[in-house]
A = this chain, B = another copy of it.
Amino acid sequence: MGFVARVTSESSAEFVPIPQRIATFDNDGTLWSEQPIYFQFEFVLDRVKALAAQHPEWKTQEPFEAVLEGDLKGVVASGEQGLTDLLMATHAGMSTDEFSSSVADWLSTAQHPRFKEPYTDLVFKPMLELLSYLRQNQFEIYIVSGGTVDFMRAFAEKVYGIPPEHVIGTTFALQFQRGPDGKPVLMREPKIDFLDDGPAKPVAIQRVIGRRPILAFGNSDGDQQMLEWTAAGDGVRFMGLVHHTDAEREWAYDRESRIGHLDKALDEATERKWVIVDMKQDWKVIYP
C-alpha cells in the first residue's frame, strides 16, 4: 500500500510521526457484513424472544408481538417509535456488565440466517489483513461506528484486535448507582445520549481521540463526513469506501438501499479519487 510506505518512511517528505498515525474504520458494512439487517438488530430480535417469558404483556403489544410472531414487516411498520421501543427493551434497564454478558452469550450461539455461521465469522478477511498491516506500521486503529459502543466491545478485541478503548460509537446514557450492598454499578438508561452517525462521527473523533485521522474507511453516506474530515487535514491522506457489489458471495447494494445507503459519498469518492473497493472485482476471498 503506497500510502503506508509514504507516511512511515523517515526519509519521506510525507513522514507522519507514530502518535499521529490514527486510522478510523466504520464497522457495519466496512469490517463485517450488515445484511439483510444490521447484526445488532438481529441481536435485538433474539433478545426480545429470550426475554418474552418475563414479559407476558408483549404477546399483545406491538412491536413486540410482531417480533414474537416473526413478522418482520410488522416490525418495520411499527416505525421509528417501534424500533426505539425494541432497542430500549433490550439495551437499557440493566447494568453495563449484564448487558455485556447478554451480547457475549448471543454472539456465542447466534447464527446468521443466510450463512448459518456465527456473526463474528462474517468479517471481511481483506480488512483484517489491512488492520494487521496498519498495526505493523504503528497505526492506532479505532472503530467509529453507528453501532453502540458496548455491543461492539463484546467482540472487537477478539475479532479485530481492537481494544475497548479504541471503540467509538453510539452510547446510551449511564447512571452511577450504589447497589444494596453499597457496591457501585453503572445502569443503562433508556436514552441514547450520542448517536454516532454522519456529521456526529467527526465530532466523536475529536471528542475521544482529539487528533484527526490520516486514514479512514467506510461504506455508506453515514461515513461521508468522517472521510471529509480526514481528507481536510494537512499532508497525505487515505480515504476508502467498501462498495458492496457481490450479490453472490455477499450482497450488492448502494444507492437504493436503506441499510448501508451509499449515494452522495460514492459520488464524492469518485470525484475526489478516494479509493473505492469493488468487492466483487477486488476481493478474492471475502470471509476468513
A132 within 8 A of B: no
Q: Which of chain B's residues have a CB closer than 8 A to the CB of A203?
A: 174-176, 186
Nearest-neighbour CB distance to chain B for A150, whole angstroms, equals 7
A183 to chain B: closest residue by CB = B232
Query: Does A164 contact B210, Cβ atoms closer than 8 Å?
Result: yes
A208 within 8 A of B: yes
A55 within 8 A of B: no
Residues in A158-200 with C-beta less than 8 Å from chain B: 163-165, 167, 171, 174-176, 178, 183-184, 186, 199-200
A153 within 8 A of B: yes
A96 within 8 A of B: yes
Given contacts A184-B225, A229-B184, A232-B183, whether A206 and B165 have CB atoms under 8 Å apart is no
Q: Which of chain B's residues have a CB closer than 8 A to the CB of A174?
A: 203, 206-207
Number of this chain's copies in the assembly equals: 2
- Hey, what's the 0/1 contact readout for A114-143 against B, CB within 8 Å counting as 1? 000000000000000000000000001000
State the CA gap A176–B74 with chains docked (Å): 36
- Among B153, B202, B229, the residue within 8 A (CB) of A210 is B153
A165 to chain B: closest residue by CB = B209
A19 within 8 A of B: yes
Query: Does B225 contact A176, Cβ atoms closer than 8 Å?
Result: yes
- Among B19, B165, B211, B225, the residue within 8 A (CB) of A208 is B165
Query: Does A210 contact B176, Cβ atoms closer than 8 Å?
Result: no
Q: Which of chain B's residues have a CB closer than 8 A to the CB of A153?
A: 210
Q: Which of chain B's residues have a CB closer than 8 A to the CB of A232?
A: 183-184
Q: Which of chain B's residues have a CB closer than 8 A to the CB of A211?
A: 164-165
State the CA gap A175–B51 with chains docked (Å): 38
- Hey, what's the 0/1 contact readout for A75-105 against B, CB within 8 Å counting as 1? 0000000000000000000001000000000
A7 within 8 A of B: no
State the CA gap A150–B211 with chains docked (Å): 11
Q: Can you list 8 A-B pairs with a CB-CB distance of less than 8 A?
A: A149-B207, A164-B209, A165-B208, A167-B210, A178-B228, A184-B202, A186-B206, A186-B229
- Additional pairs, 10, CB under 8 Å, beyond known A174-B203, A174-B206, A174-B207: A149-B210, A150-B210, A164-B210, A164-B211, A165-B208, A167-B210, A171-B207, A175-B203, A184-B202, A186-B203
